[in-house]
């Protein structure tokens, strides 16, 4: 039986590929009668699929709370968005090249005219392509890891390329025959506009909830846990989900007005939100000094790390590193509040005793939850995590679903160890924030 995640991803790909499939149905033998006509046909299909992929990628940027859950969480949804955008970029680059190569079968002059035409439609096409290159290139790994705020700004204004591409397509009016062009491009455009309108208009005024800092605790050096009290409507969420937090305290040294994703560390049964934040950048470093009474806004929740309430729970293995303990802390707090058993083994990987976040509370919580066990792995004392250590903590590793959250090197190592131990990819769930 197909999972909800598989069905959701499949539906998106079908939507993105549908315009090109419709165009294929209207092709004739003349479109493949020679090498030139084949190249011309491929060029037109590349343009159709490229624009469709770009529009669908734009649709996925809406960030409506809950929309990401069928896709496996917002991280998984963003990865799908990146794949669609990257493929659209490649196809739209190939589009004029293939058309020019097709025209070269007639003459070099025809090829040059295809690329350098002064027709308004062609000019708009080049404007769209050059704008797409300008916005997409800085996000590619070739240019290095982009800064978070720069990446967000690029994505915020990159939607203008879709407008230019649509102008180019509609002026030519030859991408799809008859009313098909109006129907397909009209529907995709409306969906993309709805996503952009929600993301940059509605969410700014209605989706962000005001909170105030009610308590500040420092469980370790360079780590703060904030307790937040709702000023209006309390957030409803599940253990393991995350939110976007935007501070509005002018006394902070950095990050005022900037939103960043943070995992909730509180139980959904608590009256206040709790968020554990480690100083990993300028904004998170500044939040170490926020004071009681500081104002913030919260948007969310997002993510689908753990099974939703009501779903059957298999035995679980949790592997955390550093501040990656947050979703597991929320879940064990939740089960302790409900006084319910949970068959889980937590392997918490830290460098040394001083980096053991919430150590005393974790020991207390695991003592209260029947069926749960806590194991701590100290890197400086025991070296990197090994398959033998995992097996000693969890002899029935093969029957458990593994949930992993922590620094990228630890997650990569853990996934490799789990796969070597025979744990299938479907039973390995990871959570990472990659430019959300």
- pLDDT tens for 205-251 read 788 999 999 999 999 889 999 999 999 989 999 999 999 999 999 99
Mean per-residue pLDDT over the chain, rounded: 87
Question: How far apart (Å, rounded) are the C-alpha atoms in residues 111 and 125?
Answer: 16
Which one is predicted more confidently, 117 or 98?
Answer: 98
List the single range of 27-31, 190-194, 197-201, 376-380 with lowest mean pLDDT. 197-201
Give me the mean pLDDT over the 278-303 stretch: 93
Q: What predicted TM-score, i.e. pTM, was given to this entire model?
A: 0.85
Scanning the structure block, which residue is given the tokens 């990993």? 280
Q: Residue 137: its pLDDT value, please?
A: 64
Residue 348, φ and ψ in degrees, nearest 5: -105, 115
- pLDDT at residue 62 above 90? no
Contact assessment for residue 328 and residue 318, using Cβ atoms and an 8 Å cutoff: yes
Residue with the two structure tokens 């998106």: 12
**Closest to 261 (Cα-Cα) out of 435, 430, 410:** 435
pLDDT classification of 4: cutoffs 50, 70, 90: confident
Lowest mean pLDDT among 69-78, 213-222, 356-365, 370-379: 69-78
pLDDT of 403 over the 90 cut: yes
pLDDT band at residue 197 using 50, 70 and 90 as cut-offs = confident
| pLDDT in the model for residue 1 | 37
Contact indicator for 165, 54 with CB cutoff of 8 Å = yes
Least confident of 102-111, 123-132, 353-362, 401-410: 123-132
Work out the pLDDT band at 107, boundaries 50, 70, 90.
Answer: confident
- Kindly list the strands in the beta sheet with 260-263, ordered across the sheet, starting from the edge strand earlier in the chain: 260-263, 242-247, 295-302, 208-220, 223-230, 273-278
Confidence at residue 317, expressed as pLDDT on a 0 to 100 scale: 95
Grouping H, G, I as helix, E, B as strand and the rest as coil, residue 318 is strand
Going by pLDDT thresholds of 50, 70 and 90, the confidence category of residue 141 is: low
Q: What band does 294 get if pLDDT is binned at 50, 70 and 90?
A: very high
Q: 123 vs 155, which has greater pLDDT?
A: 123
Q: What is the mean pLDDT of residues 132-149?
A: 64
Lowest mean pLDDT among 172-181, 283-292, 304-313: 172-181
Residue 147: which residues within 8 A CB-CB, separation 6 or more? none
One-character DSSP codes across 190-257: HHHHHHHHIIIIIIIIIIEEEEEEEEEEEEETTEEEEEEEESSSPPP--TT-EEEEEE--TTSSS-TT
pLDDT over threshold 60, residue 63: yes
Q: Higher-confidence residue: 268 or 121?
A: 268
Please check the confidence at residue 41 and state whether its pLDDT lies above 50.
yes
Q: Which domains does the chain have, with CATH numbers?
A: 4-176 (1.20.120), 208-302 (2.40.30.10), 316-431 (3.40.50.80)
Q: How far apart are CA 73 and CA 433, in angstroms?
A: 11
């Amino acid at each position: 039986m197909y999972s909800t995640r598989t069905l959701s991803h499949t539906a998106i790909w079908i939507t993105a590929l549908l315009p090109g499939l419709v165009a294929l149905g209207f092709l004739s033998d003349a479109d493949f009668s020679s090498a030139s006509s084949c190249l011309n046909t491929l060029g037109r299909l590349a343009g159709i699929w490229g624009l469709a992929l770009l529009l669908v990628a734009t649709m996925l940027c809406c960030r409506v709370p809950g929309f990401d859950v069928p896709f496996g969480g917002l991280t998984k949804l963003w990865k799908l968005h990146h794949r669609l955008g990257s493929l659209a970029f490649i196809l739209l680059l190939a589009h004029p090249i293939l058309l020019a190569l097709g025209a070269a079968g007639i003459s070099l002059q025809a090829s040059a005219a295809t690329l350098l035409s002064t027709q308004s439609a062609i000019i708009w096409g080049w404007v769209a392509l050059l704008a797409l290159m300008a916005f997409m290139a800085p996000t590619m790994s070739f240019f290095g890891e982009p800064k978070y705020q720069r990446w967000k700004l690029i994505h915020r204004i990159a939607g203008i390329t879709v407008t230019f591409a649509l102008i180019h397509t509609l002026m030519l009016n030859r991408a799809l025959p008859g009313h098909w062009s109006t129907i397909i491009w009209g529907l995709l455009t409306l969906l993309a506009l709805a996503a952009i309108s929600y993301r940059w208009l509605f969410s700014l005024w209605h989706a962000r909830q005001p909170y105030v800092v009610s308590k500040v605790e420092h469980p370790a050096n360079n780590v703060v846990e904030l307790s937040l009290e709702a000023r209006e409507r309390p957030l409803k969420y599940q253990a393991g989900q995350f939110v976007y937090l935007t501070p509005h305290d002018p006394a902070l040294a950095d990050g005022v007005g900037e939103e960043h994703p943070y995992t909730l560390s509180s139980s959904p049964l608590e009256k206040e939100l709790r968020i554990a934040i480690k100083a990993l950048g300028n904004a998170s470093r500044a939040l170490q000094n926020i004071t009681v009474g500081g104002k913030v806004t919260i948007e969310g929740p997002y993510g689908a790390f753990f099974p939703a309430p009501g779903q059957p729970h298999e035995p679980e293995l949790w592997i955390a590193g550093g501040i990656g303990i947050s979703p597991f802390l929320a879940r064990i707090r939740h089960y302790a509040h409900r006084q319910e058993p949970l068959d889980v083994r937590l392997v918490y990987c830290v460098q040394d005793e001083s980096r053991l976040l919430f150590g005393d509370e974790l020991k207390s919580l695991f003592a209260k939850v029947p069926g749960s066990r806590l194991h701590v792995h100290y890197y400086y004392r025991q070296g990197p995590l090994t398959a033998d250590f995992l097996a000693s903590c969890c002899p029935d590793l093969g029957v458990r679903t593994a949930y992993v959250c922590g620094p990228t090197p630890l997650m990569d190592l853990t996934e490799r160890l789990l796969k070597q131990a025979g744990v299938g990819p479907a039973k390995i769930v990871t959570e990472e924030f990659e430019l959300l």
